[in-house]
Structure formats: C-alpha cells, structure tokens
A and B are shown apart, each in its own frame.
Chain A
Amino acid sequence: MNKQPLSSGLSERDMVRSRLAKTLRRRHARERRFRLAGVVSVGLALACVLLLFGSILQRGLPAFWQSSIQLPIYFDPEIIRVDAAPQPLPDEPPVEFQRRQLEWQGQLARSNWQRLLTLGVQQLYPEQQIQPRHAQALFTRAVQHQLREMFAADPGLLGQTLELSLLADANVDVWLRGKIDRSLPDAQQQLAAPVRALADQLQADGHIKLKFASALFGNADSRSSPASAGLLGAFVGSLYMLAVVLLVAVPVGVGAAIYLEEFAPKSRWIDLIEVNINNLAAVPSIVFGLLGAALFINWFRLPMSAPLVGGLVLSLMALPTVIIATRAALQAVPGTIRQAALAMGASRTQAVFHHVLPLALPGVLTGAILAVAQSLGETAPLLLIGMNAFVANVPASPLDQSSALSVQIFLWQGHELRNFFEARTAAAIIVLLSLMISLNAVAIYLRKRLENKWS
C-alpha cells in the first residue's frame, strides 16, 4: 500500500527532471543565440563607427598640411614705387595724418606685387625663359596681399631680399601631391604644361615644403585664392549660433518643461500641447528653416545669413528635444522629495527650485547639451536663411553675414576644385566632429560632477 505511490512518485519525479534538463538545454541554446546576435550587432555598429572615423581621418588629415614654395624674394625698389612711410608730424591734426597714410596705402596697392613673385622664380632658374603668367600661377592669389601687408608692416624691407615660404596654388598642391592623374592629356589638365614642369622642378630642387595649413584655421573662406580658404569664418559663425541656442533654447525649453511637469494642471490643453511638442521633435529640419525665414527674416526683418537668425532657427529645432529631455529628468526625481518639501511648508516653486531641479540638473544639462550639439550639425534649415552665401570675412558679431561649419562642409563638397577641396571637406568634418565631441565631453563631465555629489 505504502510502496506503490512512492515508486510512482519517484518515476514521475524522474520524468519531470529529464524534461527539465531538456528544456534547460533549449533555454541555454536560445540564450547563446541571443548573446551571439547581440555581440554581432554591437560589432557591426562599432565597425561602422570605425569605418566612418577612419575614412574621414584618412581623407581629412592630409588637408592639415599644404604645399608652400620656399624662395628668396627681393623687395625691389624699382617695382615697389612708394614714398617713405608717413610719420606723424609735430603739430599735424590726426585727420591729416590719416589722409597721408591712406594715400601711402594707395601707392602700395598700385604696386605690382606679382612681379616680385615672377622675378623671384626667374631668379631661381635664370637660364630658362619663364613667362610671368606661368611663374605667378604657382602661387595662390592671397600671396600678393601677404607680401604687401608684410611690407606695410615693415617698410624697411625695401631693397632687401628675404627667404620666404609662400602658399602654392591649390592646383599646384594637388598636382605635386599626386591627386591628379598625370597621364591625362593637356586639355583636361587645370595647369598649363610649363607650370606643371616648373612645379616638378621646384619640388625636385627642394623648394617645395609641406607645411601646417594654418590658413585652414586662420582664414575665412576664399574664392579667388582657394589654397588659402579657411574655416575660421564658419567656425566663429557656428560658435555664435551655439551661444544663441544656449541662451535661447536651453532657458526657454527648461522653463517650459518645468512648467508643464511641475505646475500645469492636468487638462486636455496640456495633453494637446504635450502631443504637439513630441510631434515637433519629429518635424524635418528643413521645415524649421522655412519657418525661420518667414518669421525672423520676413517678419522681424533680421538680416539674412546672420548667425543670430541661424541660432534662432536652430533654437526652434532644439526646443522640443530640450523640453522632452528635461521632462524625463524631472520625472525621474522621486515624488517623495516633492512631498517632503511641500510637507515642510515649501511652496511649489520652492520645492521645485530647491530640491527637484538640483536633482534633475545632470539629466537636464546632458539632454540640453546633446540637443544643442545635434542642432549645430544641421545644414538644411541654414541653407534656407541664406547661410550658404559666400562670406570672405570672419563675422565680428552675430548680426554679420556668416557661414557655419555644417554649411561650409556642404559648400566645399560641391566646390569645382574637387581634388583640392575633397580633403578640406573632410578636414571641416573633423573640426565639426571635434566640436561635437567636446560638447558631449562637457555634458559627461557635468553629469559626473553633479551626480557624484550626494550619491
């Protein structure tokens, strides 16, 4: 009587056990498969990132160096026909002194600085009949202005010879660095055959040096002198926009989020606003460009191409993201903190600003900075407010005409001097990415600093 149920119980236990073992095997197998899929997808993502950065660096880094031509230049008094630089006279009114200075500058401008270059090259190879236009084609256009400014700064150079290092023309640079198919027929070459030969000769004789491309970082864009075109104008424009977005989108967005999350009574209106904010975050950026053009330029009559307008447009774009991130950070603050403050007799505002916001701050700042960084990379809306206009100056204020890094990338990508600007485009991308990585690093730093304080 007693044994029967016991033995049957045992066999049933065995059955359960073997079945468990089987399902366990299956479960383990499933887990392994899932892990493998995870590792593969992470690996894939990583490979994509590496590929992206690798190819950008590979293309862009060469643009950080640029060919320049080293040769002696004689500041020939026969060519630089100017009077002695004006000195202020004892009792001369400042206006009069200024007039004389302007006149002197005019004389400088009328001198034939290109001729100095021609003579310099011809001096190197006196036995050859080098035509002036071929000699001048070696240098980028800005070199003449460089010589003039050197002289204006130090008129004592007259009659002296200086060993100078002068930027080569963009076409010469790509020719010398092997970015042009040398077997192409003459008709398809940018440079005339004698210039190419001259360039090769200069290189063979050690007159060509690869130097750090300070023009890339120190100059604004340039059309007449592509080799000295730089990013500084676009970079400063982007910084102005960054400042505008930080000053507009962050306070407004954080304020709106605080109101919606902590103060607004639950109502259908608030729900509607919430839905619309979420929708706004998904609106294509070019639409914000149209809105910005209509609102800020047509309505408020703000200038075209100004970083102020660009910053305002990007602020519109960043606003929903800032609001959403801030609300998420506020929601993550435990309700017990609010209760504790209210029960102490704090007003709602005090509860929020003394307790809730400080706790949410790391999240708020991270979200805000990421939103700002993201908006900084936008291009399309900036095109619609004219920031793709060619600007040869570094903007001195947010109301001056300016470009932006993202737009500069777009412009250079489409530049007719493809061979030269391919690398510059990648270099501009490197600069933009560095800016974003720095912003993200700031976000991470702030988050770590503020979070570590109490936990």
Chain B
Amino acid sequence: MNTTQNTQPAGLQAPRAKMQAQDVRVFYGEHQAIKGIDLELMENEVIAFIGPSGCGKSTFLRSFNRMNDTIEGCRLEGRILLDGEDIHAADMDVVMLRARVGMVFQKPNPFPKSIYDNVAYGPRIHGLARGRGDLDDRVEDSLRRAGLWDEVKDRLHAPGTGLSGGQQQRLCIARAIAVSPEVILMDEPCSALDPIATAKVEELIAELSQQYTIAIVTHSMQQAARVSDRTAYFHLGELIEVNATDKVFTHPQNALTEAYITGRFG
C-alpha cells in the first residue's frame, strides 16, 4: 500500500523516520476505523493528512501520542515506533510519550488560566525549569517561537481565554512547544480560524518544521499544498496514497485521490 518514500526533507542527511506506524488498526468497539496502515513520519518534515470526513484522519493522528487511550472503548492493534521504540511498550510511559509528541487541537483549547500559566504548565508538571527565571525564559522563548510574544508580552497574566481565536491557537502551539517536543500533531488547527489567523498559523508551521516533525490533519487542500512536504490521502480507514505534496496534487497515482483533489467528493 505504501508508495514511494523518497522525498526531500529539509535536512542534508538521508531522511530518517521519526515515527513509524506498522500495520495499525484502530477499533471503536466493534467498528474498525483504521484498517491496517503503514506510514512513517520523517524527521523535520511536515506531513499532511487529507481525506473525506470520517475517513479516520483524526483517529490515526491520535494514535501517535496515544490520545486514543483516553477514549472509552477504543483499541489499537499493530505497532507505532518513536525513534525505533514501541510507544506501547511496558517501559514507555505515556506521560513521557506525550511530552515528546505534542498535540494541537481543532478548536483552540487554552486552559482558563493566565497566558503565562498556560505556557508554563507543561514545564511545571514535567519539572523542566530550574527556578523562576528559567521558567520565565522558557515561556518567553515558546511565545516568541509561536509568534505571539509581541502581542501578549504586556499581559502575560491576563486570561488566555481572552485572546482572539487565532491568538488562542498560537497560544496552544506555544504551550505544546514549551516542553520541547520532537513531534507535533495538529488536528485541523485552522478550521476554527479566519483567513488572516490561518495565514499566521501556517507561517508558524513552516518555521517550526525546521525543528520539529509535524503531522497535520487538514480539510483544506490549499493548506496541505502550502505547508506540507508530503501528503497522505486517507479513504474509509485506509491509506490510499502518500507522496511528495506537489506530486499528490499534480499527478495523483490513485483514482480515489484524484477524485478527491478534483473535488468530486469530500
């Protein structure tokens, strides 16, 4: 099912797989949402997941940081590796995993706490900061990288929920990168944002991709085309095609992919 993997990631060395999904099957009770998918997330790439709604993009994305564990009745078969280690292994702590594989949700969901506390939360619970000054630095650094610092530096102790939708989403990204994750999963991060806020977040994704491996679910093909190195097309719980983004959009290999990107369904 997997097609070519020989794409050009940002780095100079040969591409290295950061995460690998091997024959992943996900069930909600009796219902099988993911029907045996193999896919690799390469180091420092942005990979977009596209496909008609209900095809399992979110479910598959959540498999990478085991957020499916929090859903009652959800079960996963197959293996997922992070740097070659099975994320379901007994010695892999889910807290550790989620510190290494961060997530940004569809609807901005900052904590109803101050902007500062939102960003400081991860470093605090994982004990990443040594002292107050260190924590302040980390918060500032994360907010800068999320492109939010200049907008909020004067009101760090105002509630995060008081920001605009786009700012809230960038705050959530800042919160995710504050624990220095290796992979960031984003589930339709712009679907609740207006075009200007969307443009800002997309810009941010492009910047972040220099340091992080990013998997992004999107329902907008333009967005996939703009931000991603590779694109994976899903259909009814199966991975139909994965390839360099420009190839997927110009020369889709599969009839289903072609039908989707030309707008015949979805």
Contact = CB atoms under 8 A, between A and B. Distances in A.
B34 interface: no
B42 interface: no
B79 interface: no
Contacts of B179: 344-345
B250 interface: no
Interface string A436-455: 00000000000000000011
Given A266-B72, A454-B159, A455-B161, A345 B109 contact: no
A345 B125 contact: yes
B125 A455 contact: no
25 contacts: A266-B72, A336-B105, A336-B109, A337-B109, A337-B111, A338-B70, A339-B105, A340-B105, A340-B111, A340-B175, A341-B111, A343-B67, A343-B98, A343-B102, A343-B103, A343-B105, A344-B98, A344-B99, A344-B175, A344-B176, A345-B94, A345-B96, A346-B121, A346-B125, A454-B159
A336 B107 CA distance: 8
B111 A342 contact: no
A105 B168 CA distance: 78
A355 interface: yes
Nearest to B102: A343
B161 A454 contact: yes
Contacts of A359: 112
A332 B70 CA distance: 18
Which residue, A339, A347, A350, A355, has most C-beta atoms of chain B within 10 A?
A339
A374 B103 CA distance: 45
A340 B172 contact: yes
Interface string A288-303: 0000000000000000
B113 interface: yes
Nearest to A342: B70
B162 to A, nearest CB: 9
Contacts of B102: 343-344
A338 B122 CA distance: 14
B67 A455 contact: no
B153 interface: no
Nearest to A347: B95
Interface string B212-252: 00000000000000000000000000000000000000000
B155 interface: no
Contacts of A339: 67, 70, 105, 109
Interface residues of A, number: 20
Contacts of B176: 343-344
Interface residues of B, number: 29
B65 A343 contact: yes
Contact of A345 (B95, B112, B161, B172): B95
A339 B65 CA distance: 12
Interface in A260-310: 266
Majority-rule SS of A interface residues = helix
Contacts of B111: 337, 340-341, 355
B102 to A, nearest CB: 7
B126 A345 contact: yes
A338 B126 CA distance: 17
What 10 A-B pairs come out closest when comparing CB atoms? A345-B98, A336-B109, A343-B103, A454-B112, A345-B99, A340-B109, A345-B95, A344-B122, A454-B159, A342-B70
Nearest to B113: A454
Given A337-B111, A350-B125, 19 more contacts: A266-B72, A334-B109, A336-B105, A336-B107, A337-B112, A339-B70, A339-B105, A342-B70, A343-B65, A343-B67, A343-B105, A344-B125, A344-B176, A345-B94, A345-B96, A345-B122, A354-B121, A454-B112, A454-B159
A339 B58 CA distance: 14
Interface string B88-105: 000000111111001101
A342 B67 contact: yes
Contacts of B109: 334, 336-337, 339-340
Interface in A340-380: 340-347, 350, 354-355, 359
A27 B113 CA distance: 47
Contacts of A344: 98-99, 102, 121-122, 125, 175-176, 179
Nearest to B100: A345
A355 B111 CA distance: 7
Nearest to A344: B122
Contacts of B98: 342-345
Contacts of B122: 344-345
Max chain B C-beta neighbours (<10 A), residue from A266, A339, A340:
A340
A455 B162 CA distance: 8
Nearest to B98: A345
A164 B159 CA distance: 65
Nearest to B123: A344
A219 B200 CA distance: 73
B78 to A, nearest CB: 22
A454 B67 CA distance: 27
A332 to B, nearest CB: 13
A452 to B, nearest CB: 11
Contacts of A350: 125
A414 B102 CA distance: 70
Interface in B155-178: 159, 161, 172, 175-176
A343 B126 CA distance: 13
Nearest to A338: B70
A337 B118 CA distance: 12
Contacts of A346: 95, 121, 125
Contacts of B95: 345-347
A202 to B, nearest CB: 69
A330 to B, nearest CB: 15
A188 to B, nearest CB: 70
A354 B94 CA distance: 18
Interface in A140-194: none
A173 B93 CA distance: 78
A346 B110 CA distance: 14
A345 B123 CA distance: 10
A354 B102 CA distance: 19
Contacts of A334: 109
